[in-house]
Amino acid sequence: MKKLSLLIILFFTAAISHAQTATIDSTDVKFKKVLDDGQMVFTMPPGFGATPIVKNRQMHYEFAIKSIDKPYEIRYSIAPMTIKALADMYARDKSKEELTAKTLSMTVALNVGGGGWDPTMGFGPFPPQSVKSEFGADWGGTWFINVKNNSFGTEYKYCGMTTLHKSGVADAYIMYLCNSKEDLITLMKENMKIDGLFYALKFKQ
């Protein structure tokens, strides 16, 4: 059992604009581009398949997959440092890089949740050594988010969002969407059972 998988399960148990109209084929091309720019690799988990991107104003994402037989959807958003505005934001003060990553992560979490602070939201940081060895990242953590009635969440009510940051390379956001807290906890537990699900997206080592 990998350390972060266990931490995620414990965290969720305790815690309980950019529109796109591309086809899945063209989405694959765009996703490959941001993977290359962000120096990341993605492996399709067993039991999942690509699903169309939902047009929304809350959170841009490049790729999504859906469980074949369970009420789970996972959305992936990658922001490579080839985006000048993002690179400039981090370059303003290198000594506060982790704080910048945390601030951006919170902003994304708020957008996913519906745009405002919710006291039920929670965050669990990853141990630095674990996030480095298991994801190739310099910083990361996971949010628990109650999804309000917004265009991002569509029919989903809960989101577990993993954030990954690698210095000078990219930020990545992995959004696990479910309809209940119980489904979300089950999905996290299955990260250990389904080879590659929790680690489907990571930085190149």
Residue 97 to residue 93: CA distance in whole angstroms: 7
What confidence score (pLDDT) does residue 104 get? 93
More confident residue, 57 or 157: 157
DSSP annotation string for 39-73: TEEE-PPTTEEE-PPPP-SS---SEEEEESSSS-E
3-state helix, strand, coil in the chain (%, to 5): 35, 25, 40
Q: How large is the average pLDDT for residues 170-186? A: 91
Least confident of 37-51, 109-123, 160-174: 109-123
Domain total of the chain: 1
Secondary structure of residue 117 in the 3-state scheme: coil
Digit-coded pLDDT (tens) for 42-78: 999 888 999 998 888 788 899 999 999 888 999 999 9
Q: What is the pTM of this model?
A: 0.86
Residue 83 to residue 24: CA distance in whole angstroms: 23
Q: How large is the average pLDDT for residues 2-15? A: 59
pLDDT band (50, 70, 90) for residue 21:
very low
| Domain enclosing residue 178, as ranges | 3-203
Digit-coded pLDDT (tens) for 92-110: 887 889 999 999 999 999 9
Asked whether 77 and 173 are in contact (CB, 8 A), the reply is yes
